Structure 1
Amino acid sequence: MKIIAHRGLSSQYPELTASAFRAALELPIHGVETDVRLTRCGEVVCIHDPVISRVSDGFGRVSAMSLEQLLEYNFGTKDAPEKVLTLNNLLDIMEDYPDQHLYIESKHPMRYSIMLEEEIVKILRYRGLTEDPRIHFISFSLPAIHWMGKLAPQIDRIHLRRSWERWLNPTDRRLGSPTGLGLSIERAKMSPGLIGRRGLPTYLFTVDREKDWQWAYDRGVEMLTTNFPGEAAEFLAEYLGDAPAAALYADVHGKEE
């Protein structure tokens, strides 16, 4: 099972910051996940919420602000301030970790619609990453998944099921052409038959408890995102009886702490 750090090492560092990603990428795990939005000036930035008040010392809607405005605010801590991270900044960081994977989640709905996917593809194409197996695209938006399939068909596309789909889409009908399907740990436990549905790999989010890591592994989940990636990887190594790997994870945790 592939362990993915949710918004970087967000349990120890401010989410979606350079420090959070670098700390996560130092761990012997599969990769990291980032949320992205589009600014007024067309820059792709790593921000989860539509407004910045929760994650910075500023206020405003991402889609109504320019990158220049966002750079005025602190997205880190008072003692360790950090600038907003762009997707290009994150890809620069990823170059130092050539074996790690990146899961890019586009956030919708927002005023610029599929322009976000267009800008993501422009960045990836400029960097020669549109056919790189380390790059994955994820979204709750089915139009975004469909459009990404048109723009960059070689990129892995994981459609995340929304919680209300258990009522409005009980048979799990899936339009478009996703290459993977995601669901929350809560819905997975209610409907474990959704794991591996249609022969597609499952991306499970956001899983932070030992018993759920074990539950997911026992049911064949391929990808698991968590706020505690090092702990999850260490637990699974111990569960599988891989003592050397468990010792490696524990050693890395000791260095981080």
Structure 2
Amino acid sequence: MLRQSGPKIVAHRGFSGNHPELTRRAFEEALKLPIHGIECDVRLSRDGRVVVFHDASVSRTTDGNGRVDCLDFADLRELNCGTEDEPQQIMCLEELLELMQDYPDKHIYIETKHPTIYGPEVDEQTLRTLRYAGLHESENVHVISFSHRAVRYFTEMAPELETFYLFRLKEMRWNRKSRMFSRPYGVGPALQHLQLRRELLGYRGLKTYTWTVNTPRQMRWCADNNVDVIATDVPDVALATLGQVPDVAVAGR
């Protein structure tokens, strides 16, 4: 049994501190841990598939080049987003949701990436994928985005899903007058912003999701300030720092 205390721990892009980000291995290793869940990013391929990928270009994390939205899913599958010793294929969202069926207690936070040449289509296709999987009303699925339009879309079209509006300092300046336009269930300031603007903690009674929390000092700050959810590249460090370990392990220390 997991001893629950402090913020909920979400593995940012999977267990990306130990494995190539957003790969099956990164997600599998994260899901094995006694944490709240995982976070992923999604984009559309040229042929309209919802792919699990962060950057607009494939060059940083694969052995290929080009924009994700200029490549068909079959082309993306030919790329290696892992290592030479352990090659990995780019996943589509359907595959990640299938993987999570083996972990019914785990949550997933899906960030739809904006801006994109496809506009709102990435949100629409993501919701279609969730509907097809029977997860469009699941309390274990959360949608996060820097786009007010995206958050508002999910709030209106899938009101059962919990949504978080993400922002950094520049996004808050741009959206100062309309920060609540998207009617999110929670706010997702970057950690540095949250530490500078502590009034955002529990802003208007909403939940607080912050990222990316990678040091024990940052993790303890979040716990001391009642942050609801933290996204981290090192969920194992978060578990150890926050004491969120199985009771049997606690008893044995």
- Taking the aligned partners of 2:88 and 2:118, their CA distance within structure 1 comes to 26
The 1:185/1:225 distance shift into structure 2, 3 A limit, reads: same
1:24-39 alignment to 2 at 5 Å? Answer: 24-39=30-45
Amino acid paired to 2:247: P
Partner of 1:73: 79
CA distance in structure 1 between the aligned counterparts of 2:218 and 2:135, rounded to whole angstroms? 33
Query: 3-state SS of the aligned residue for 2:42?
Result: strand
> Is 1:178 the counterpart of 2:184 in the alignment?
yes
Under a length normalisation based on structure 1, what TM-score does the superposition of the two structures give?
A: 0.91
2:181 is paired with a residue whose SS is: coil
User: Post-superposition, which runs of at least 4 consecutive aligned residues in structure 1 deviate over 6 A?
Assistant: none
Once residues 197 and 164 of structure 1 are traced to their aligned partners in structure 2, the CA distance between those partners, rounded to angstroms, is 18
How far does residue 169 in structure 1 lie from its aligned partner after superposition?
4.8
RMSD: 1.8
Against the structure 1 CA distance between its residues 172 and 197, is the aligned structure 2 distance closer, same or farther, given a 3 Å change threshold?
A: farther
Letter of the 2:37 counterpart = G
How do 1:45-194 and structure 2 match up within 5 A?
Answer: 45-169=51-175, 173-194=179-200
Aligned counterpart, 2:3: none
Q: Distance in 1 between matches of 2:115 and 2:147?
A: 8
Residue equivalent to 2:241:
235
SS at match of 2:204: helix
- Alpha carbons 1:180, 1:203 under 8 Å: kept: yes
Structure 2 residue aligned with 1:244, among 240, 247, 251? 247
Distance in 2, matches of 1:208 and 1:22, equals 20
| Secondary structure at 1:164 match in 2 | helix
Give the Å deviation of 1:245: 6.6
Which whole-Å CA distance do the structure 2 matches of 1:197 and 1:221 have between them? 11
8 Å CA contact 1:213, 1:236 repeated in 2: yes
**Runs of 5+ consecutive residues of structure 1 not aligned to the other structure:** 251-257
Partner of 1:10: 16
Q: CA deviation at 1:167?
A: 3.8
TM-score w.r.t. structure 2 length?
0.92
Unaligned runs of 5+ in 2: 1-6
User: Could you say if the C-alpha distance between residues 227 and 245 of structure 1 is closer, same or farther in structure 2, counting changes exceeding 3 Å?
Assistant: farther
Give the match for residue 40 of structure 1: 46
Contact 1:35-1:107 within 8 A present in 2 as well: yes
